[in-house]
Each structure stands twice: as C-alpha cells, then as structure tokens.
Structure 1
Amino acid sequence: MKTKPFTTVLIAFAALMLVVTGCNAPAQKQETATEQVAAKPDMAAIKTEMQAIETEWANAATAKDIDKLMSFYADEAVEMNDDEPMLVGKAAIRQAMLKSWEARKAGTTVYYETMDVYGDGNVVTEVGKTTIKDAAGNVVSTGKYMGIFEKRNGKFFCIRDINNEDQKDK
C-alpha cells in the first residue's frame, strides 16, 4: 500500500511536535519524603542537666569519692590542669586527683557553677566557674573550667576538661 506524501509529512510533523512539546514541558514534581529537619536542642534543659552533673561532681570531690568522680569521665578523657602536663585516660586522671586531694585541707567544700553550654545535644561544651571554701565557709580559691561532654547511651561523659585557678596561693 502506497502512502501519500502529504500523510507521511503530517505524521512526521505531529511526531516532531510531540517530542518538542514533551522536552519543553515543565518537570512534574515528584512527591518525596518530607525532609527531616534536625530539632534544635533545648540548651536551657542541657544547662540544667550539666549543672546537676557538676553538683554531683562537686559532692564527689568534696567527699574525696574517687570512684564516683571517675564515673563522670570517659575512658579516653583528657584532663588539662593548671601548671601540670596533660593527663590522658582515667588512670592518669585518677592518680592526679588523689595527689591533689592529699594537699587539700580538711573541711574544704568544692562548688561548680555552670555558666553556659554550647553544642548539638550530643556533644556539649560547658563553661563554668569553681569555688572552694574552707571549713569556716571562707572562699579560699576560685577558678574557671571548660569541659566537653559527649552523650553515650543517654548519659553525658566528660571527654575533655581544662581548668585553672584565678589566683595562685601566695
């Protein structure tokens, strides 16, 4: 069967128009899963949680309860104390803490105050101040600290700690 040239041209033109129209049509938006936006952490709640940790920490330091104190540190923690080499790991931190407690006068009380916290809720940097009082309640030392805590299995552990006194004993 013979096809008339006009019909062939018409069919070719119609096919060309379909291709051109299809290529220039706006893309249809595909429905995709809703993007998950990470919720901002409640820093006020984290600050309260950090203060609770610091209160327990201070109580352990005051009572010289080394096991309780060490429970706040991650195994690989690094401690950077005033005028001392860096301490790496719980064993080194434990030894330094026991040594510092020997030099501390009986009846002193340790206080830590969380001033501010920064982070994403899993890793938190805490900035605070330290106050140590003698048995009569007189301030004998003040200082500041910065700690980095990491949440593991729902609990914060100190992974880095740096602290120093405001003024050295004379």
Structure 2
Amino acid sequence: MKNLFVKGLMLGCMFLTLVSCNSNGANSNVTIDKEQIKKEIQERENEFAEIYNSGELKNIGYYAEDAVTFYPNMKPIRSIKERLEFLKLDEGSINNTRILFTTYEVFPSNDGNQVLEIGYYTVVDSTNTAINTGNYMSLFEKRDGKYVCLRDMSASDMPLD
C-alpha cells in the first residue's frame, strides 16, 4: 500500500511539472521579432515628429485616449485636451524648431502587444543646431493593429539655466 501511494505521488508530481512547464498556453507559439517591433516603434516616432513639426497637432494619433504623459516639473498630462494645450505651447510650435526621435531599445512583452521603448530626442533650431536633447521612455500597446503610446516620460540632458 505504501509503495502504491509513493508511485501515485510521483506520478502526480510529474504531471504537475509537465503542466507548469507549459503555462504559456496560447502564447507558447508566438515568435517575437524585436527588430521588426523596433522598426514599427521608430516609424511611430517619425510620424509623431512629422506631425508635430508641421504644427498640425490635432492629427497626432500617437497617443491612446487614456494615455498619461509625465514631463519634468509639471503635473501629469491625462487628457487629449491637456496634451494639445501643452504641445501648442511647447518649443516646436512657437520657436520654429523641429524635434527628432531615435529609438535605442525596445522591450516587448511575451506576446508583443506591449512594448517599452527607450529613446533619445533632439530639438533643433532653424540652423539645425541642437537646443535641447534628452532621453525618454514610452510604453506602447497594440490596438487595432497599431502601437499607441499609453505612458511616456522624458528628461532633458541639457544643463539648467
């Protein structure tokens, strides 16, 4: 009887081990192409910069409606209205400057539906001289087949005045 109990216990442990090793279920066959995702995120950044630099801010589809942006020394931006007001007052809209974004790294979730991006921005004036540079982090989620920004934050690496 004791031998039967031990065999049952061992069989149960083996079964649990097999089940737990395959815990990804439906996601176990998903292949993530990090370079393709990085390319898609860089394309989103380029679209954002192009629209921002054109001054047609209402056409920015970069952010999700529920996005939150964290900029230094200000309260979080939580609505589309707040975002448009901020962007209208930002450097590019009033000083004839342009912004450029460079995606350095992406960290996709196991299914590729969310991506954390680490990047660098540069703001240049009309003579192409950098007047502001810094780093940023953005969290994207794929909605309707396109990545949209859910959260982002940035920090200038320029010295304080």
2:98 aligns with 109
Partner SS state of residue 87, structure 1: coil
Identity, % of aligned positions: 26
1:84 aligns with 74
1:160 aligns with 151
Gaps of 5+ in 2: 1-6, 12-21
Q: Give the Å deviation of 1:103.
A: 6.8
TM-score normalised by length of structure 1: 0.74
1:96 aligns with 2:86: yes
1:49 aligns with 40
1:14 aligns with none
1:131 aligns with 2:122: yes
Q: What is the aligned-residue RMSD (CA, Å)?
A: 2.8
Q: 1:135 to 1:169 in 2, by over 3 A?
A: farther
1:66 to 39, 57, 76: 57
| Aligned residue-pair number | 144
TM-score normalised by length of structure 2: 0.78
Partner SS state of residue 77, structure 1: strand
Q: Give the Å deviation of 1:87.
A: 1.1
Gaps of 5+ in 1: 1-23, 28-33
State whether residues 42 and 103 of structure 2, in contact with CA within 8 Å, keep that contact through their aligned partners in structure 1: yes
Between the aligned partners of 1:152 and 1:143, the Cα distance in structure 2 is 28
